[in-house]
Structure 1
Amino acid sequence: MTTAYFDHYDGSKVFQFLSTRVGLPLDLVNFLIAQVAALCLARLFRKPLKFASPEFRHSVCLAIGLLMGYFCFGNINISAACVRRTITMNESLAQDVRAIRDRDNLTNKEVNANTKGTVDSLDTVQRLPSPLEYFAYTLAFQTLMCGPVVFYNDYINFIEGEQWPGNTNAWLRNVAYQRGGARLRTVRVYGLSAVWHGFHPGYYMTFFAGGLFTVAARKFRTAARPLFVNSRPKKLFYDLLSFITTRVAMTFITTRVAMTYATVPFVLLHLTPSLAFYGCM
């Protein structure tokens, strides 16, 4: 770790000794500590705070989120992190303020003129959030560092005693996949995923590879399946073969090899080592 890096990092330096010992940058050490702490603290909402008032649960989410943000980003960079998170996470709030203003139900066309699919009406915000609700949602410690991204109504349901909503696919589906037509759906989803993570080249290489694998798998199925559906025995053979390869062989090939290959740049972050890895493999 260089002196320049240490001097410019504004987050907590309490674990500098651990960073030096394990050979990782201090910001990554703090990030890992914050993520583990978030997992542990989230259990507060399962039992100890399960029957607490929504206001208190909001306050706990906000307070821990602010402390975690200060620990990882410091006085200066936490502002930039909050701005980034507000812009990225408040998609549902931005689109549904119009619903509050007009006091009527919006059609999918009114929500977004480019929408070709459907937008789940359950994501519609029925009232403007209070300042506590808004900032607690924006800075909730469970999702502050790297997600998962959730809609505002999902967060409110969780605070009022429901389960924490399931992760990121639903958000990507509503925000990127179902909007703008079918032509570039996969590109939009993987592109948004890359932008959400940051601006290191490795992120974009990983999600580009993931998109490539997804498109290739779909095209292979489109080309292969019609060859087997014209008769019942062939279709049964195809379904059985698909089940076996998916559950057994493809579990190893896809998960252990293809995804590992695709995600190495996600860890390396930088362009030169990522290209070197792809060049060697």
Structure 2
Amino acid sequence: MTQQLDNYPGSRLLEGLSSYTSLQVDQLNFIASQVFALGLATLYRTVLSPAKVSPSVRHSFGLIFGLWMGYFCFGYQALHLAALPAVCYLVILTQNPAIMHGAVLFTAMLYLSLVHLHRQFLDDSSLDISGPLMVITQKVTSLAYSLHDGTVKERESLTENQKYHAVDKLPSVLEFFSYSLMFPSLMAGPVIFYKDYISFIEGQTLTPTKKPTTSMQKVIVHEPSLNRVVFQKLILGIVCALVFVLFLPAFPISRLKDDNFIENTTFSYKFWYLTVATTLVRTKYYFAWTLADAICNNAGMGWDGTNWNKFSNVDIFKFEFGTNLKESIDAWNRGTNSWLRFIVYGRVQKYSTFLTFGLSALWHGFELGYYLTFMSGALFTIAARTVRRHLRSHFTSSSESKLLYDLITFATTRFVMAYLTFPFILLEFWPCIAVYAKLYWIVHLLALLAVYAIPRFLPKALPGEEVQQNGIAIALKKAGPYSEAMGKVD
């Protein structure tokens, strides 16, 4: 038995199954807890629906089984699941509301950072407590900022997103801890903002089919059918898991550390291998997030009025087939993107991109591979934005040139994503630097060139210029004969 398993503090009830699968007991516990949560979600949605029980019962149910799942998977480490939100709740109660949100962010990130450091230097558990703590950190900090927006700031000064999430009343102890630890999203997310959680608990997200005729009559709600959606997401998750298990062993990311790979493979092969290996690794995240999404849906969470994807953490199609870096980034870990936009990107005036990527790196941990990915990501995002502003308008004069532009940007995005994300997976600093060196830092150099050279040699299209290139005569005819004459004069 490996040292890793010797140190594992969670339940060993399923340890005997490890010999029949390629999974270790911690991974089996994760899958078992999610399957159990899927069954509990049905009970949550039906027997404990908002029309049948009080919000307190629903809060308590989600909290109790969240704590049980935490103990099943992490043993004594589950104390951290309660300790982090407890410390943050104390900060909310004791600090000046004007600075409370920043104090909660500092406290939660400090606690999470200490856990990351413990995992990195003292503990080799592959599935440790930091994963759920990362989600809890997102929840308590977003709630703190929502409270700040709802109790301190003038409503007129808020953005539409901030107005939507603003909370003007301190949650009770039960509400706060049930929100932080509810079982559907504890193990793998997604992060759910507090107002959306309360709407779910009280049944406000469901569509009334009959209005009450008296103040004593209950509202009859119609819950959109979700069996097909849950089944589809389960099948998709299983397919992703099978792809990961069957094909990743042929393309291990650890091969990037092999001297033979570094020294004796061609430039093009390295890029090809990075693309295949990182794509296969992503299927692990697709499995976990799709399964978590199915659990939330089965509990009745995620309906946005048209579909069940309100809290989906990933849009696989948009990520894999996005035609620009922003589109792919926005489709990946969408809950974290929303959290970062809410507490950083939408609130700072200067260096918002770098600060957002920096907080994301710190939230993930202290392995240097994270920082290579996120700092490079900030540079590449700015470069991609610059290229789009200055170059795209020159390809919109016809549908053929627009298609050519999209095909080029699609292929470029695929290679850039592989080049950008492999340090996030490999994590080790010097092996990543060795790979980048053998690739001549090509994407970094092109990104710097794009940021500093393109604006000087290729001016940005003026407002309306793109329309003119795409057919000014049509626009002038719609505007009337006087405008058409003016166009001829110009």
Deviation at 1:139, TM superposition (A): 0.7
**Superposed structure 1 runs of 4+ greater than 6 Å apart:** 108-111
State yes or no: 1:211 paired with 2:372.
no
Q: Partner residue of 1:94?
A: 144
C-alpha change, 1:274 and 1:34, in structure 2 (3 Å) is farther
Could you tell me whether the CA contact under 8 Å between 1:206 and 1:262 is conserved in 2? yes
Aligned mates of 1:273, 1:18 — CA distance in 2? 35
C-alpha change, 1:274 and 1:143, in structure 2 (3 Å) is farther
Aligned mates of 1:20, 1:159 — CA distance in 2? 41
C-alpha change, 1:270 and 1:45, in structure 2 (3 Å) is farther
Could you tell me whether the CA contact under 8 Å between 1:118 and 1:178 is conserved in 2? no
Q: Secondary structure at the match of 2:184?
A: coil
Q: Partner residue of 1:157?
A: 199
Aligned mates of 1:263, 1:32 — CA distance in 2? 26
C-alpha change, 1:94 and 1:267, in structure 2 (3 Å) is same
The 5-angstrom pairing of residues 93-242 of structure 1 reads 93-97=143-147, 106-107=153-154, 120-161=162-203, 162=205, 163-164=301-302, 165-166=310-311, 167-168=334-335, 169-181=337-349, 183-225=350-392, 228=394, 235-237=396-398, 241-242=401-402
Deviations 1:175-205 (A, max 9, x none): 1111221x32222222233333333333333
Could you tell me whether the CA contact under 8 Å between 1:108 and 1:119 is conserved in 2? no
Partner AA of 1:62 in structure 2: L
Give 1 or 2 for the bigger CA radius of gyration. 2
Partner AA of 2:5 in structure 1: F
Q: Secondary structure at the match of 1:90?
A: helix
- Matched pairs, number: 261
Q: Partner residue of 2:9?
A: 10
Unaligned segments of structure 2, at least 5 residues:
85-111, 113-132, 206-300, 303-309, 312-333, 440-490
State yes or no: 1:254 paired with 2:413.
yes
Q: Partner residue of 1:78?
A: 78
Q: Percent identity?
A: 39
TM-score (norm 1): 0.72
The 5-angstrom pairing of residues 261-280 of structure 1 reads 261-275=419-433, 278=436
Deviations 1:155-189 (A, max 9, x none): 111222324343513322111111221x3222222
C-alpha change, 1:146 and 1:191, in structure 2 (3 Å) is farther
C-alpha change, 1:194 and 1:35, in structure 2 (3 Å) is farther
Deviation at 1:90, TM superposition (A): 1.6
Could you tell me whether the CA contact under 8 Å between 2:29 and 2:73 is conserved in 1? yes
Aligned mates of 1:30, 1:221 — CA distance in 2? 46
Aligned mates of 1:279, 1:25 — CA distance in 2? 36
Could you tell me whether the CA contact under 8 Å between 1:92 and 1:124 is conserved in 2? no
TM-score (norm 2): 0.45
